[in-house]
Structure 1
Amino acid sequence: MRHRCRVPQLGLPADQRKALLRTLATELIRHGRITTTQTRAKALRPEVEKIITLAKDGTLSARRQALGYIYDKDLVHALFEQVASRYGDRQGGYTRISRTIRRRGDNAEMAIIELV
């Protein structure tokens, strides 16, 4: 039973799911917006918001935690430099999910997730 378990499983084992979310988070921070399925976008949102909150904190410990999660070291440094000016007065809600048309091959619900 999965009653009250709020982790989206995404049909993957735990290690593959964590790797997928890390890759999606890295690419979202790098490009600013990505197109993926709606379920993956909803699972990705809390992960990216945690990383941006760490970057707003700006401490050495927060930087090391972000480096442990995001694959690209230069991307983490750029994120920590620009996040104060971009999200300094914002108390959360750093991402936006917009629904798009369904995918042609399997009719999956697609969405665009972007940094606000």
Structure 2
Amino acid sequence: MKHRIKGKKLDRTKAPRESMLKNLAASVIIYEKVKTTEAKAKAVRPLVEKAITLAIKGGLNARRELIRRLPQPLAIKKAMEVLAGKYQD
């Protein structure tokens, strides 16, 4: 039974799936557009939205949380400086 099972496996085990989603989220933040499958796009959307929400909040704790969630420093910098101002409203 699949009761209370959330999320898609995307044909990967846990660690590679999490790594792929983190890298895909960082790519979406850096390039603001990526070409991927519909399933991966649906899986990464909440991660990107939460990262942008954290960037809007600003502050040291939000930056540390972004460091934990995104593997690339360029993605963190762009989220905090560019996207936070763009999506402030």
1:25 counterpart residue number: 25
Q: Distance in 1 between matches of 2:24 and 2:75?
A: 14
**Cα deviation, residue 40, structure 1:** 0.5
Code of the aligned partner of 2:55: A
Match of 2:75 in 1: 75
Question: Quick one: percent identity of the two aligned structures?
Answer: 36
Q: Which residue of the partner structure matches residue 38 of structure 2?
A: 38
How many residues get paired? 89
Q: Secondary structure at the match of 1:33?
A: coil
Relative to total residues, which structure has the larger helix share, 1 or 2?
2
Per the alignment, residue 47 of structure 2 pairs with: 47
Q: Which runs of 5+ in 1 are unaligned?
A: 90-116
Partner amino acid, structure 2, of 1:57: K
Following the alignment from structure 1 to structure 2, what is the Cα–Cα distance between the partners of residues 53 and 38? Answer: 23
Within 5 Å, give how 1:1-116 maps onto structure 2: 1-89=1-89
What is the RMSD computed on CA atoms of the aligned residues? 1.2
Give, as a single letter, the amino acid of the residue that structure 1 aligns with 2:71: Y
Once the 2 structures are TM-superposed, how far is the Cα of residue 16 of structure 1 from its aligned partner?
0.7
For 1:4-44, what per-residue CA distance to the aligned partner results, in whole angstroms no more than 9, with x for missing partners? 31221112111011001011001111111011111110001
Flag structure 2 segments of 5+ consecutive residues without an equivalent.
none
Flag as ranges the 4+ runs of structure 1 deviating above 4 A. Answer: none
TM-score, with length taken from structure 2: 0.91
Higher percent of residues as strand: 1
SS of the aligned residue for 2:34 comes to strand
